[in-house]
Amino acid sequence: MGPHLPDGIVPPPHPVAVRPLALDAGEVVGHRITLLALEDWGAWADLRFARVAGPGAPPLPRRIPLADDWEVTADGTPLEVLDVAGRGDRAFSNGEVRLRPAPAPGTEVRVRARFAPGAVAEAVFRVA
C-alpha cells in the first residue's frame, strides 16, 4: 500500500479538482466541525475537515474520528472510506477522509461522522 492508497492506484501529479466547501457540519460536545474542501484525485477523493473546541469544551476521546466512524454516501450509494488522517491537538485538529470513488459533479454527498458516543456531525452538499 502506497500513501494510504490501495495497491495499484498511482497518485496523479495534482488533483483533478479542488472544490471549496466551508460547510458547517454542526457542533458536537462543544466542538465546531467544518467541512473545508473536497479534493478530486480521479480514483479517489479527500474530504478535508476541521474541528475547533469552543470555550470549556471537554476533550474528545480522539482528536479525529477513525475510518469506521465515518459514513459517506453519494446519491445514496455508500462510498468506501479508505483512510482517515489528521493532525492537531485537543483544541484544534484538521484532517482528511480518503473516499472511493470520487463523487462526480452534481452528486449529493451526505457525511456523518461520530466524534464520540452520541456526538455525531452531519452535513449534506452537492458537488460543484
State pLDDT tens for residues 86-128.
Answer: 999 989 999 999 999 999 999 999 999 999 999 999 999 999 9
Q: pLDDT: is 67 or 2 the higher one? A: 67
Q: List, for residues 19-74, the tens digit of each pLDDT value.
A: 999 999 999 999 999 999 999 999 999 999 999 999 999 999 888 999 999 999 99
Those residues with Cβ within 8 angstroms of residue 41's Cβ, 6 or more apart along the chain or in another chain: 11, 12, 15, 16, 102
Return the pLDDT at 37. 98
- Taking CA atoms, 66 is separated from 82, 98, 121, 128, in Å, by 11, 12, 14, 27
Residue 10 inside a domain? The answer is no
Residue 108 inside a domain? The answer is yes
Residue 66 inside a domain? The answer is yes
Which CATH number goes with the domain that contains 118? 2.60.40.1640
CA nearest to 111, candidates 80, 82, 75, 73 = 73
Q: List, for residues 97-107, the tens digit of each pLDDT value.
A: 999 999 999 99
Instruction: Give the domain extent around 45.
Output: 17-54+62-126
Residue 6 inside a domain? The answer is no
Mean pLDDT of 70-81: 98
Residue 4 inside a domain? The answer is no
State the pTM of this model. 0.94
Residue 101 inside a domain? The answer is yes
Residue 118 inside a domain? The answer is yes
Return the pLDDT at 92. 95
What strands lie across the sheet with 45-53, from one edge to the other? 17-28, 31-40, 45-53, 92-100, 80-88
Residue 12 inside a domain? The answer is no
Rounded Cα gap, residues 111 and 92, in angstroms:
20
Domain count, the chain: 1
